[in-house]
Amino acid sequence: MIDTHAHLDALERARAVGVGRVITIGTGIDSCRRALDLTAHHGVYASLGIDPHQAATAEAARVPELRGLLVHSKAVAVGEAGLDYHYGADGDRL
């Protein structure tokens, strides 16, 4: 079993019920770096991205840094990329 969006404060509890792997989420460059640091723990991997709410900030200019982080062996997905269509074109929640 894999938890694909983990809150790592509950990691031991998840393992106790059979979760063998966890994907922690990076939501900006600094968050992605912290997520990769957490992959030092057995069974922890990372999904890295820049949250869409940060697209109009200086964080958006850091995409080249994100590309560099994605080559890490424990980076297994790109997430927080705004492809979930949580908000409509007008900015309202769907």
Question: pLDDT tens across 31-71, in order?
Answer: 999 999 999 988 899 999 988 888 778 988 999 999 999 99
Give DSSP secondary structure letters for 45-87. Answer: EEEE---GGGTTSGGGGGHHHHHHHTTSTTEEEE--SS-S--B
Please give the pLDDT value at position 13: 85
**Three-point CA angle 8, 71, 2, nearest 5°:** 35
What is the tally of structural domains in the chain? Answer: 1
Domain holding 26, by residue range, is 2-78
Whether 26 maps to a domain, the answer reads yes
| Joined tokens for residue 45 | 């991997």
For residue 17, pLDDT over 70 is answered with: yes
Whether 90 maps to a domain, the answer reads no
Query: What integer is the mean pLDDT of 16-42?
Result: 91
Whether 30 maps to a domain, the answer reads yes
Helix or strand or coil: residue 12? helix
Whether 92 maps to a domain, the answer reads no
What tens digit of pLDDT does each residue of 65-88 get?
999 999 999 999 998 776 666 666
| Joined tokens for residue 54 | 């940060």
The span from the CA of 5 to the CA of 36, in Å, is: 14
